[in-house]
Amino acid sequence: MDRSPLKLGRRTFGPDELLIMAIVNRTPDSFFDQGATFADEPAFAAADLAVAEGAAILDIGGVKAGPGDEVTVEEELRRTVPFVAALRERHPDVVISVDTWRHEVGEAVCAVGADLLNDAWGGVDPKLAEVAATHRVGLVCTHAGGAEPRTRPHRIEYADVMADILERTVSGEAERALALGVPRESIIIDPGHDFGKNTRHSLEATRRLPEMTETGWPVLVSLSNKDFVGETLDKPVGERLLGTLATTAVSAWLGARIYRVHQVAETRQVLDMVASIRGTRAPAVARRGLA
């Protein structure tokens, strides 16, 4: 299991810390919040609340992951760059991540203070890792099975889904990023739940997370309200919190370190409980049997 510190921006996180990456979408059509944080004021309010509830990382996205209206590079820049710049001043010590696969966006957000580039599409734009290396910021290397951005998987098959995840994220993207000059302590790998996968693939990736943590790279999981949770329990988007939290608890026990989520407070409680059971966090209060 990975036991090395993780360095992002001004922060260094120990190997036993379980970190929350809070989602702040600057999109009018996001699958979960349906554009609730598209405007500046609610977006800043959501970021402030996430930090207050225990998020160490804020992940800003300017393009919906799934199919939808075209978002040009110029429009993605408009949605993200000014917000990241203002957020940097508002929260100087919080890690700011930007969810993008485009190097032009990566360059612009790093110039105004982003600490981490969250590439959810598996290095489809190879220049993005070069941007991370130039700016000495972190990079999330995600498995998407070779899918094109904003597409859904159709009858995709793997001889061994975890072997493919490891080949693409570790042997492919992470080692390439390291060779380019991205700091080793700032590279993260993500199995990419739902990206280029059906529900059974995502479930298998979850139970085999130890194979990822054994590589030595810190593992991020993006589970929040995703379709594999919905299909497993036959629940619509608005009723997937319990399934998400169950998957979060299992992932924490199996060694994942970072959790990209919509609901921060609930996730923080789950992660703190797992950490306390594991013995890496003391109970917040310990009075029982001592009176």
pLDDT digits (tens, 9 = 90+) for 148-171: 999 999 999 999 999 999 999 999
Whole-angstrom distance, CA of residue 103 vs CA of residue 230:
32
Q: Look up 127 and say whether it is catalytic.
A: no
For the chain, give the percent of residues with pLDDT over 90: 96
Average pLDDT, the chain: 96
pLDDT digits (tens, 9 = 90+) for 91-100: 999 999 999 9
Q: Look up 64 and say whether it is catalytic.
A: no
Q: What is the mean pLDDT of residues 104-116?
A: 98
Please tell me the predicted confidence (pLDDT) of residue 3: 72
Please tell me the predicted confidence (pLDDT) of residue 291: 73
Asked whether the predicted pLDDT for residue 89 surpasses 60, the reply is: yes
Q: Supply 61's token pair.
A: 């996205």
CA proximity to 207, closest of 166, 251, 167: 251
Please tell me the predicted confidence (pLDDT) of residue 208: 98
Taken in order of first residue, the domains within the chain and their CATH numbers are 17-278 (3.20.20.20)
- Name the catalytic one among 26, 79, 102, 260: 260
Check: CB of residue 217 under 8 Å from CB of residue 188: yes
The secondary structure of the chain, three-state, reads CCCCCEEECCEEECCCCCEEEEEEECCCCCCCCCCCCCCHHHHHHHHHHHHHCCCCEEEEECCCCCCCCCCCHHHHHHHHHHHHHHHHHHCCCCEEEEECCCHHHHHHHHHCCCCEEEECCCCCCCHHHHHHHHHCCEEEEECCCCCCCCCCCCCCCCCCHHHHHHHHHHHHHHHHHHHHCCCHHHEEEECCCCCCCCHHHHHHHHHCHHHHHCCCCCEEEECCCCHHHHHHHCCCHHHCHHHHHHHHHHHHHCCCCEEEECCHHHHHHHHHHHHHHHCCCCCCCCCCCCC
Please tell me the predicted confidence (pLDDT) of residue 61: 97
pLDDT digits (tens, 9 = 90+) for 206-259: 999 999 999 999 999 999 999 999 999 999 999 999 999 999 999 999 999 999
Q: What is the mean pLDDT of residues 16-45?
A: 94
Please tell me the predicted confidence (pLDDT) of residue 151: 95
Please tell me the predicted confidence (pLDDT) of residue 2: 55
Please tell me the predicted confidence (pLDDT) of residue 31: 85
CA distances from 172 to 145, 169, 176 (A): 12, 5, 6
CA proximity to 83, closest of 56, 53, 59, 57: 59
AA letter at 142: T
> Confidence band (pLDDT; 50, 70, 90) for 4?
confident
Please tell me the predicted confidence (pLDDT) of residue 162: 98
> Confidence band (pLDDT; 50, 70, 90) for 19?
very high
- Name the catalytic one among 26, 79, 197, 226: 226
